[in-house]
Amino acid sequence: MRAHLTYWPEAGAHNPVSPLYGGKMLDDERIYLWAWDTRPFPEFPLYNYYWGDAANWSRGHWLNGRLSQVSLDELIAQIIQDYGLPEVDSSQADGCVHGFVISDPTTARSVLEPLLEIFGVHAFEKDGKFIFKSLDHRQEAIRIIDDIVVPDEADALTITLEDKNDLPRNATLFYQDPMREYQAGGAKTYQDMGEGDESISLSGSLERGAADGLVEQWLLRRQAHRRSVSFAVPWARAQFHVGDRVKLPIVNGNRDYVITSLEDGEVRQVQAVALAPRIDVSDHGEIPFKPDPAPVLDVKPLVHLIDLPLWPGAEKAHQQLRVACHAKPWRGVAAYVSPQTDGFTERTLVTSRAVMGELLQPFVSEQASGRIISGYNLDVVLYAGELHSCTMQQLYNGANTAIIQAPDGEWEVLQFLHAEEVANGHWRLSDFLRGQLGTEAQSMMEKSAEAAFILLDSSVVPVGLDASEIGLQLNWRLGTAGRPFTSDYFETIATIGGMRALRPLSPVHLRAKRQGNNTYFSWIRRGRIDADSWLADDIVIGEERERYQAELWRGGLKVWGGELSEPAWNLTATQREALFGSAPADIEFKVAMVSAQAGHGDFATLHLTL
């Protein structure tokens, strides 16, 4: 295509202008490209069991993604430009790649050298400009050199022949294969002459056939270049340039040489290397067709609909009704909702499978929270995915957060510092932060074996609850995307969402202090929203106003309750005697923060004797 599009625009003997109508024989403005194949890559051509003409992708007349390949001359020019170097002439560099990656900070020379080596491109300066030219680039005529000069105290012609045992016998080119999801590939070739192995790594993507052709060309060039010549020509015959192809009749054979360097003095000293004869530059590979897949039986996915508390960066209550899904094979999960048993509307499509599994052993209850708990492990089995250890700094920044379903149906949020795979899919976790995000009540419950375990990452997504639907019981249908809306692929879950995120966190640091005959209770509130900043003197209340529900219990019975407006309460001696009498009493003081939307939150409890 490039040959046609650059050949016909100029008028000349190859495209004469008509004396009758004043136009060129072939009007380049009426050249049309026919036609574009819109079938998706790489499914076409890899899935030849869908398309019987898949082999035409490589050599067919229809245009397709082959046009997206990068020509070598444009690639070299772009690399030079990206490094801010002066403009070069790379128009005589032949070749193409599917793509090219510069993965690490490096120099332009380090980037270009493997490209020039494998494609056989010579770089030199001419008239103050850097030139990149393929060693076997075609030119109008091959110059014949039959007039050489014998310099003083030097040979007229020096032929250097490298020892064949110093040449490689085997060559390997490493590359990325776009037909195999850009996995690393290796193209190998060998010749009878030489010893040892050589390899070249190219940070580019190539089809296997092109890589095979390139490595064969490289090895042929390498063996041809074992022969080099050095000679001098008079200035009258000095119209040569680096990169010119020449013949030397004085040397036996009909071999072509390419000039690699020139040195000027009283005469022009020329260095040249032999070119490999009849190099096959074609792509002679085959498309790696994928085998016809066996039918796959889709199954109903395993789905958990989870009402979670807020956390930094996730502070919209309606988005905390989240869904975690697993299926094998994974097809994605579609979520639909309705306030009744029909009329479902789609809310979200879950595209990522969650890292989930189950406990292999009971998980002990834990009273402490807010500090690293060591001394016991947790063994879980994952249905898919993997876990990782993290540093303490990463842990404090939210890494390795997971949830475990408690016996009451709610979820404990915890973090783990260390994860070790002790068998395939069997992970051992240790060093925990328990009862995170206000789930202390769930951390105090022992979890049974087979309780659900889910890694809380980006695959656990909002199910699509609207803000106006918080607190309403809705029916959710979740199942394999694209499958019939039946019980074979979908399951229905009735739940109320968004309320856990609105529930105030329990107060902390409960204290009771005698002040005369009175007992003074105090505590510190916690916040759900914007509570992690260290910039302010205190955290925001996060509710319409500060309110607490306080209660006194004795022997399992509530004996007093009231609403307070500050984080403190004074139990007078008169109140104490009216409630408990004058004898010492073992009691429980309970307090919870109150929300206008969700009522009181979890209670914190202080045990004491009055």
Neighbours of 475 (CB within 10 A): 17
Which residue from 356, 353, 121 is spatially nearest to 258, judged by alpha carbons? 121
Q: Kindly tell me if the per-residue pLDDT of 603 is higher than 60.
A: yes
Give the integer Cα–Cα distance in Å for 412 and 306. Answer: 11
* Tokens of residue 207, six digits: 């089809």
Q: Kind and range of the H or E element at 476? A: strand 473-480
pLDDT digits (tens, 9 = 90+) for 425-457: 999 999 999 999 999 999 999 999 999 999 999
Count the helices and strands in the chain (H runs, E runs): 10, 36
0.75 exceeded by pTM: no
Give the integer Cα–Cα distance in Å for 345 and 335. Answer: 8
Whether the CA torsion 159, 162, 168, 171 is positive or negative: it is negative
Give the integer Cα–Cα distance in Å for 221 and 230. Answer: 18
Task: DSSP for 329-392, please give it.
Answer: S---EEEEEESSSS--EEEEEE-S---EEEESS-B------SS-EEEEEEEEEESS-------H
Tell me whether strands 461-462 and 197-205 are parallel, antiparallel or unpaired. unpaired
The pLDDT of residue 476 is 96
pLDDT digits (tens, 9 = 90+) for 226-238: 888 888 888 877 6
SS3 593: strand
Chain position carrying tokens 């075609």: 138
* Tokens of residue 328, six digits: 């094998």
The pLDDT of residue 140 is 55
Q: Where are the beta strands (DSSP E) in 151-242?
A: 157-161, 170-177, 183-190, 197-205, 227-233
Q: Kindly tell me if the per-residue pLDDT of 262 is higher than 90.
A: no
pLDDT digits (tens, 9 = 90+) for 528-554: 887 777 777 788 888 889 999 999 999
Average pLDDT (258-277) is: 84
Q: Kindly tell me if the per-residue pLDDT of 568 is higher than 70.
A: yes
Query: 430 Cβ partners below 8 Å, 6+ apart?
Result: 374, 376, 377, 378, 416, 417, 418, 420
**Contact between residue 418 and residue 447 where contact means Cβ atoms under 8 Å apart:** no
Tell me whether strands 129-134 and 89-92 are parallel, antiparallel or unpaired. parallel
- Using a pLDDT cut of 70, give the percent of the chain over it: 95
* Tokens of residue 533, six digits: 């900043």
Give the integer Cα–Cα distance in Å for 485 and 478. Answer: 9
Q: Kind and range of the H or E element at 213? A: helix 208-224
541 burial level (CB within 10 Å; 0-12, 13-18, 19+):
middle
pLDDT digits (tens, 9 = 90+) for 26-52: 999 999 888 888 888 888 888 888 888
397 burial level (CB within 10 Å; 0-12, 13-18, 19+):
exposed
The pLDDT of residue 365 is 94
pLDDT digits (tens, 9 = 90+) for 49-105: 888 888 888 878 888 877 778 999 999 999 999 999 999 999 999 889 989 999 888
The interaxial angle of helices 208-224 and 108-119, nearest 10 deg, is 80
SS3 content of the chain, % helix, strand, coil (to 5): 15, 40, 45
Q: What is the mean pLDDT of the chain?
A: 89
Chain position carrying tokens 């063994």: 379
The pLDDT of residue 543 is 87
Query: 244 Cβ partners below 8 Å, 6+ apart?
Result: 139, 143, 258, 259
Give the integer Cα–Cα distance in Å for 501 and 310. Answer: 5
Give the integer Cα–Cα distance in Å for 303 and 296. Answer: 20
DSSP letter at 12 equals B
CA gyration radius, the chain: 39
**Contact between residue 97 and residue 204 where contact means Cβ atoms under 8 Å apart:** yes
Which residue from 464, 438, 467 is spatially nearest to 602, judged by alpha carbons? 438
Give the integer Cα–Cα distance in Å for 137 and 244. Answer: 9
Chain position carrying tokens 């899904």: 325
Q: Kindly tell me if the per-residue pLDDT of 138 is higher than 70.
A: no
The pLDDT of residue 280 is 55
The pLDDT of residue 529 is 83
